[in-house]
Chains A and B, each alone.
Chain A
Amino acid sequence: MNEKPDMTEKYLGLYRDNIDKISGRSSPFINTFRAAAFDKFSKLGIPSKKNEAYKYTNLSLFFDHDYESYFMPVQSDFLKAEKFRCEITDLDAHGIVLLNGFYPTLKEKLVQLPSGIWIGSLNEAALRFPDIFEKHFGKYAKSETDGLIHLNTAMASDGVFVYVPEGVTLTRPVQVINLVQSDDDMFNQHRNLIIAEKSSIFSIIICDHTLSPAKFLTNSVTEVFVGEDAHFDIIRVQNEHNNACKITNTFIHQEKNSVSSSNNITLHGGLIRNSTYHILAGEGAESHSYGLFLADKWQHIDNFVNVDHAVPHCTSNQLFKGVLDDMSTGAFNGRILVRPDAQGTFAYQKNNNIILTDDAKMDTKPQLEIFADDVKCSHGATIGQIDGDALFYLQSRGINKREARLMLMFGFAHEVIQNIKIEPLRERMDNLVMQRLKGELSRCASCMVKCG
């Protein structure tokens, strides 16, 4: 399953060259995972198209490149990051900025909010809260086939940590602004750990931005623990330039009667791969996985979803949509695994795509593996053009063809966006999607990169 050996070799070399420096600045507990992860990575390598889960995505476009640096921060970087402000001014959130995967504040690396909530640097949390940290870190991000997860475990040393204690409701969402900025072509990795204890309620927004035109490769892993009866939502908004590659691996582990949702909104990006793993580990748990992407030019967007019904009486729902213009390509792979004991499972999956040109291409692959018999599962995938009947219906009411097409595409996208519960964010997404569909620049204005 390896890509040509020299490509993987490059990253083995990178590890060997940097591991002392990385370990020196990381918590001892995080370091205990590195050697075994490196071992796994050297066996699995960078996933090639021979790997079933990466069949439609050519990672070598970004992995087979000599990046000038593997990011580790210096003080001036922190000052740059502090200047960044989010454009959604009416979004009342607890903001955190990550620069190239690091928590870029020199003092106050962990902030306490009322009711015992902590947000801040992952590495700092490993040092300050070893009990909580060690209970969860490295427990959910597991893979026997994907080398990238192990590459992250082997080398990542910081990211975001969020801890919400039992019974606490956080009314304002946590917003992580994930900035990538460098003068040189750069590879970076980060690791997030989010813990929603029993009966807690909160949501997190992760906004991915690129701030300079160099070539970037980001490989991130996020582990989420959702305790019994907890409600947790994660929304990811991706707005990166065409010469950037973002790989996200999100593992959401759910306990009994918990409810969680994940929503990946990809507005712009060169190559994006979002792998979302939902682990339904407690009876009565419910998960929702949403995704929307708008692609044009040579962009490639790949959503990979893996829902693991490990125990009985859980419900899962997937809704992923894509709009592909120009010669863009996309992939969707939705796996539902219902284990032998998971009776009373409800699992649904829907993937709809609109292709606007003859050159755009979409691959979609439902993958249902059902080993229990009392199960209700459904899946459906469509790849098509704008519905001619719907277009005529709108025109017959006096709406011109161009406007009618826009309304239909917007409506198509809105079906995903409407699941965002945070109103200012939902409105902002509707706006950005509309601008993007109109062909106007839709990246946040703070992005200086012209994608051309």
Chain B
Amino acid sequence: MLVIKNLKASIDGKNILKGISLEIKPGEIHAIMGPNGSGKSTLAAVLAGREFVEITEGTVTYLGKDLLVMAPEDRAKEGIFLGFQYPIEIPGVSMVNFMKTAVNEHRKHKGLEPLTASDFLKMMRDKKELVEIDSKLANRSVNEGFSGGEKKKNEIFQMAMLEPKLAILDETDSGLDIDALRIVANGVNKLKRPDNSFIVITHYQRLLDYIVPDVVHVLYDGRIVKTAGKELAFELEEKGYDWIKKEIENTVS
């Protein structure tokens, strides 16, 4: 589904990603862990198409197409979804109007007619139920005045509405209490199908108690320095990141 080869990227001339290679197959959940500043969010930004990141080398192929030349909205319509670490507040734009526009853009892309108002509202209801979000949230402006937990749940709700093939969740667990964490994780588990994939970026292991990854990568200083099964997450939780840092430094020296 997604093949990243030797990806290097910089922000304001500073090298952040220093050669990342990664392959994700349909149905897989990959966790990307790593200490702060290792490049996790930059990788998410590159995949979603943020312009402030400059790609200096490497390729990203998504479903056989060159992802890096696609506009952010086209990536979304092709099935990529980014769950934001810090979802944006947009006063004056209602959740209903926002989601209706987005869903119908996706439908247009697939050659489908726009949903009728009643079908759309039914879809909203069903998905709200699926991800257990407060129905009042949908009547407000996008993320405006939402608590940290509500914003993250709203990301999962949007993911449910847009049914992506590849969802990238950028530290969706940060700042969540245990109940919100459970709701977010349940949302992911309910939306998981054999033909879609997830990249779960997280600093802590605790989200992985609820979402069981197939593969865990450790990102450090712009490189993937370790890849293993879900047991790696437990090891990191127990020992922290220092042992990995030491291991790297020893290898280098």
Which residues of A line the B interface, CB within 8 A? 387, 389-390, 392-401, 403-404, 407-408, 410-415, 418
Q: Is B76 an interface residue (CB 8 A)?
A: yes
Q: Which residues of A contact B90 (CB under 8 A)?
A: 390, 393-394, 408, 411
CB–CB A397/B49 < 8 A: no
User: Across the interface, which residues of B come within 8 angstroms of A392, CB to CB?
Assistant: 48, 50-51, 72
| B98 contacts A by Cβ under 8 Å | yes
A399-B105 contact given A392-B72, A407-B98, CB 8 Å threshold: yes
CA distance A415 to B84 in the complex (A): 24
Select which of B71, B98, B106, B109 is within 8 A of A401 by beta carbon: B71
Partner of A398, one of B51, B92, B97, B162: B162
Within 8 A of A (CB), among B146-162: 158, 162
Task: Provide 16 A-B residue pairs closer than 8 Å at the C-beta atoms, listed in order of the A residue.
Answer: A387-B88, A389-B88, A390-B88, A393-B90, A394-B102, A396-B72, A397-B158, A397-B162, A398-B102, A399-B101, A403-B105, A410-B92, A412-B92, A413-B92, A414-B93, A415-B91
Chain B contacts of A411 at CB under 8 A? 90-93, 141
User: Which of A392, A396, A408 is packed against the most chain B CB atoms within 10 Å?
Assistant: A396
Bound-complex Cα distance A415 to B87 (A): 20
Known: A401-B73, A403-B101, A411-B141. A396 touches B93 (CB 8 A): no
Q: A386 CA to B248 CA in the complex, in Å?
A: 43
Using known A-B contacts A393-B87, A407-B97, A418-B92, determine if residue A399 contacts B102 with beta carbons closer than 8 Å: yes
Q: Does B223 contact A (CB under 8 A)?
A: no
Instruction: Known A-B contacts: A396-B76, A415-B91. Give 7 more (CB < 8 A).
Output: A393-B88, A393-B90, A396-B72, A398-B77, A399-B73, A400-B71, A410-B92
Chain A residue at minimum C-beta to C-beta distance from B89: A390
For the complex formed, measure the closest distance between the CB of B94 and the CB atoms of chain A, giving whole angstroms. Answer: 8
Contact A396 B48 (CB under 8 A): yes
Nearest residue (CB) in A for B108 is A398
* Alpha-carbon separation in the docked complex, A400 to B77 (Å): 10
In the complex, which of the residues A390, A401, A407 contacts B101, with contact meaning CB atoms closer than 8 Å?
A407
- List, in ascending order, chain B residues with CB within 8 A of A403's CB: 101, 105
A413 vs B106: C-alpha distance when bound (angstroms): 26
In angstroms, Cα B93 to Cα A414, docked, is: 8
What 6 pairs between A and B have smallest CB-CB spacing?
Answer: A411-B92, A411-B93, A398-B76, A414-B92, A397-B102, A395-B72
CA distance A132 to B93 in the complex (A): 46
| Complex alpha-carbon distance, A392 and B71, angstroms | 10
Q: Is B82 among interface residues, defined by CB-CB distance under 8 A? A: yes
Q: In the assembled complex, which residues on chain A have CB atoms less than 8 Å from the CB atom of B88? A: 387, 389-390, 393
A403 to B, closest residue via Cβ = B101
Residues on A with C-beta less than 8 A from B92 are 410-415, 418
Q: Which of A395, A408, A413, A415 contacts B76 (CB 8 A)?
A: A395
Q: Which residues of B contact A408 (CB under 8 A)?
A: 90, 93
Least distance between B155 CB and chain A CB atoms (Å): 10
Q: How far is the CA of A408 from the CA of B77 in the complex (A)?
A: 20
Interface residues on chain B, size class: 20 to 34
Give a binary string over B129-167; 1 marks a CB under 8 Å from any A CB, 0 the rest: 000000000000110000000000000001000100000
Q: Are B109 and A398 in contact (CB under 8 A)?
A: yes
The reply to whether B98 and A394 contact each other, CB–CB distance below 8 Å, is yes
Please measure, in the bound complex, the distance between the C-alpha atom of A398 and the C-alpha atom of B102, giving whole angstroms: 6
Closest to A414 in B: B92
Contact residues in B for A393 (Cβ distance below 8 Å): 84, 87-88, 90, 142
> A residues within 8 A CB of B102?
394, 397-399
Residue among A389, A393, A400, A410 with max Cβ neighbours from chain B (10 Å): A393
Min CB gap A285→B, angstroms: 27
Note all chain A residues with C-beta closer than 8 A to B77. 398
**Restricting to B56-106, which residues have a CB under 8 Å from any CB of A?**
71-73, 75-77, 81-82, 84, 87-88, 90-93, 97-98, 101-102, 105-106
Taking CB atoms, residues of chain A closer than 8 Å to B98 are: 394, 397, 407
Contact residues in A for B87 (Cβ distance below 8 Å): 393
> What is the bound-complex CA distance between A93 and B220, given in angstroms?
67
- Cα A407 to Cα B162 in complex, Å, equals 19
Q: Is the CB of A398 within 8 A of B105?
A: yes
Q: Using Cβ atoms and an 8 Å threshold, which residues of chain A touch B73?
A: 395-401, 404
> Could you tell me the distance in whole angstroms from the C-beta of B212 to the nearest C-beta in chain A?
26
CB distance from B122 to the nearest CB of A (A): 20
Chain B residues with CB under 8 A of A413: 92
Complex contact A410–B93 (CB within 8 A): yes
Q: How far is the CB of B131 from chain A (nearest CB, A)?
A: 16
Q: How far is the CA of A395 from the CA of B76 in the complex (A)?
A: 8
A344 to B180, CA, bound (A): 40
State which of B49, B91, B106, B109 has its C-beta within 8 Å of the C-beta of A396: B49
Give Cα A401 to B71, complex, Å: 9
Given contacts A392-B72, A407-B98, contact A398 B91 (CB under 8 A): no
In the assembled complex, which residues on chain A have CB atoms less than 8 Å from the CB atom of B48?
392, 396
Task: Tell me, in angstroms, the Cα distance from A407 to B91 when the chains sit together.
Answer: 11
Contact of B93 among A389, A395, A407 (CB under 8 A): A407
User: Which residues of B lie under 8 Å from residue A394 when comparing CB positions?
Assistant: 90, 98, 102
Closest B residue, CB atoms, query A418: B92
What is the CA–CA distance of A12 and B87 in the complex, to the nearest angstrom?
60
Q: For B50, B101, B158, which residue has the most chain A Cβ atoms within 10 angstroms?
A: B101
Bound-state Cα–Cα, A401 to B101, Å: 12
Residues of A within 8 A of B84 (CB): 393, 396
A418 surroundings in chain B (CB, below 8 A): 92
CA distance A68 to B158 in the complex (A): 61
CB distance from A412 to the nearest CB of B (A): 6
Binary flags per residue of B208-241, CB closer than 8 Å to A gives 1, else 0: 0000000000000000000000000000000000
Give the docked Cα–Cα distance between A389 and B51 (Å): 11
Complex: chain A residue closest to B45, CB-CB? A392
